[in-house]
Structure 1
Amino acid sequence: MQAQRRAAVLGSPIAHSLSPVLHRAAYAALGLDSWSYDRFEVDEAGLPAFVTGLDATWAGLSLTMPLKRAIIPLLDEISDTAASVEAVNTVVLTDDGRRTGDNTDIPGLIAALRERGVEKVDSAAVLGAGATASSALAALARICAGPVTAYVRSAARAEEMRGWGERLGVDVRTADWADAHRAFAAPLVVSTTPAGATDALAAEVPDAPGTLFDVLYHPWPTPLAAAWSAHGGPVLGGLDLLVHQAVLQVELMTGVAEAPLAAMRDAGERALAAA
């Protein structure tokens, strides 16, 4: 009989999280009958007590907002990838009691693009300047040979994105959000904005655009993604990112060599269709 192993996603709010659907689908496909994966509503104030209370049955944690930075002081070490953006979305709890933090959003984004045949681009554009935008820049540092233009709403956000560019080794140029339609000339556009923020841009999509990666997944498609597809451009959505980063989390937490991508994606699609 296998020993019980636990994992969970923490955040606030957390009720919307698809992580339990994805991880449980992986456990079922892998025959990990003794593994469980839950969700817990935890804010920054409650995080230290939650982590301290974990016993030896716990294998790992997934972290969403607002905990990706708050978890760092509670860990024994973090990966270079996580350190590069000061954000941890994965904690692996080892048998000797150590807590190791990692970031699977960045390699997950790269893996999702690679799956669609996008491995290298000469330039790119990022819409928005929040936490997801910094992860996008870290991913683009590995696949973009030239400049990345970030379209933002304020001078403070522009300065922040240029700072991330210097830190990550990316040639970041900034432009005003009023000119965001100009982003569509880039071979790769990554939209990191909240729901509704890019709806007005849908009418500006050109014929035969490059690739769009819109990190939203519900409701889907966004007006921008729908318009992009209608004009013949390849589109990736938030579910692509969510599944690929979860695949890496399952591998880190369970030690399996290859998590079941297809089963996890299918479970995610069915859950969204039922929402």
Structure 2
Amino acid sequence: MTGPRQRQRLAVFGDPIEHSKSPALHAAAYRVLGLDWEYGRQQVDAAALDAVLDGLGSEWRGLSLTMPLKQRALELADTLDRTAVETGAVNTLRLHNTPDGSQRLDGFNTDVGGIVRAVGARGLERVRHVVVLGGGATASSALMAAAELGAEDVHVAVRTPARAAHLGPLATRLGLRLVVGRLDETVPEAQLVISTLPGGSLPEPGPVLALTRQALLLDVAYDPWPSVLATEWTSEGGQVLSGLAMLVHQALLQVRIFVSGDPVVPLDDEEAVLDAMLDAVGLDRSGAHR
């Protein structure tokens, strides 16, 4: 006679983590799916990640990872999907207990899909020219998302161009023409601007604001909201998509992974799941704040 099955546990790890909306998003999804899973949050820095993972019991099913853990998670994962390999970042770990009592970690990056799905929900399904602001870890995901949206070239604007050198090989593999410039320099025309700047900051004089009439801005920042950049963009008459929209869509892909192990396998009643997740953070189907 077997005992009761362990309740499955999941969480988001990062530092800082108090602002994360992931617990609300995942709780909404699992309610619709009828899964009695527990999803929490835990402050973990990169130096502590190894020990924390070693201490997780067999009840743990998966983890969402935010900064500064994405690179270390890449190194620790036993398997990686193509997106994680290309971007050099893992934001999702699916945990498996093996017959010998050890734990296997499958690593994924759902940030790329989150960007593509969020932008598509706003009605922008194909682009030719993209501008990315910032050259950090999220810029790699933005670059790959641009390629999946059909972009031919990407202009990356950063404070220090040398720090974006790591994006060159990725752009080559993706078949993108890459130009790296400074944030205070004029940027070319674009249909999409993806800001990966911390906190949605906007350096002066903000020449990117010249694109407000022609480009959709996706600002991956969402706390605080509206960001400085989003406020300026809106005041100039431009369309803005909050990072919350990206967060929802990448979280939906995480739910797929935690349920089936595959980010491309749709959930049962997925449309209802998506609606519940959007409602949990006050967004409509287009990603606009209600």
Same fold (TM over 0.5): yes
Residues 22-64 of structure 1 deviation map (CA, whole Å, 9 limit, x = unaligned): 11111222221x2001111111221112111222211100111
1:13 aligns with 2:26: no
CA contact (8 A) 1:125 1:151 kept: yes
In structure 2, C-alpha distance between the alignment counterparts of 1:51 and 1:43, rounded to whole Å:
12
Alpha carbons of structure 1 residues 230 and 10: separation in structure 2 relative to 1, 3 Å? same
Residues 180-206 of structure 1 deviation map (CA, whole Å, 9 limit, x = unaligned): 5x35x3111111112253164389445
CA contact (8 A) 1:206 1:231 kept: no
Alpha carbons of structure 1 residues 122 and 48: separation in structure 2 relative to 1, 3 Å? same
Residues 81-127 of structure 1 deviation map (CA, whole Å, 9 limit, x = unaligned): 10111110001113534210000001111111111111111111111
Other-structure match for 1:31:
34
In structure 2, C-alpha distance between the alignment counterparts of 1:19 and 1:262, rounded to whole Å:
15
Q: State the SS of the aligned residue for 1:48.
A: helix
Map 1:1-275 onto structure 2 (within 5 A): 3-32=6-35, 34-96=36-98, 97-180=103-186, 182-183=187-188, 185-195=189-199, 197-198=201-202, 200=204, 201=206, 204-205=209-210, 208-255=213-260, 256-257=267-268, 258=270, 260-269=273-282
Q: Which runs of 5+ in 1 are unaligned?
A: 271-275
In structure 2, C-alpha distance between the alignment counterparts of 1:207 and 1:268, rounded to whole Å:
26
Q: State the SS of the aligned residue for 1:98.
A: strand
Counterpart amino acid of residue 275 in structure 2: A
In structure 1, C-alpha distance between the alignment counterparts of 2:23 and 2:280, rounded to whole Å:
10
Offset at residue 207 of structure 1 (A)? 6.2
Alpha carbons of structure 1 residues 76 and 158: separation in structure 2 relative to 1, 3 Å? closer
Counterpart amino acid of residue 40 in structure 1: Q
Q: RMSD over aligned Cα, in angstroms?
A: 2.3
CA contact (8 A) 2:199 2:222 kept: no
Alpha carbons of structure 1 residues 160 and 254: separation in structure 2 relative to 1, 3 Å? same
In structure 2, C-alpha distance between the alignment counterparts of 1:50 and 1:206, rounded to whole Å:
44
Other-structure match for 1:273:
none
Alpha carbons of structure 1 residues 31 and 194: separation in structure 2 relative to 1, 3 Å? same
Alpha carbons of structure 1 residues 150 and 227: separation in structure 2 relative to 1, 3 Å? same
TM norm structure 2:
0.84
In structure 2, C-alpha distance between the alignment counterparts of 1:22 and 1:113, rounded to whole Å:
19
Alpha carbons of structure 1 residues 196 and 202: separation in structure 2 relative to 1, 3 Å? farther
Identity of aligned residues (%): 44
Runs of 4+ in 1 over 6 A off after TM superposition: none
In structure 1, C-alpha distance between the alignment counterparts of 2:200 and 2:240, rounded to whole Å:
17
In structure 2, C-alpha distance between the alignment counterparts of 1:44 and 1:60, rounded to whole Å:
17
Other-structure match for 2:288:
none
Alpha carbons of structure 1 residues 168 and 227: separation in structure 2 relative to 1, 3 Å? same
CA contact (8 A) 1:203 1:227 kept: no
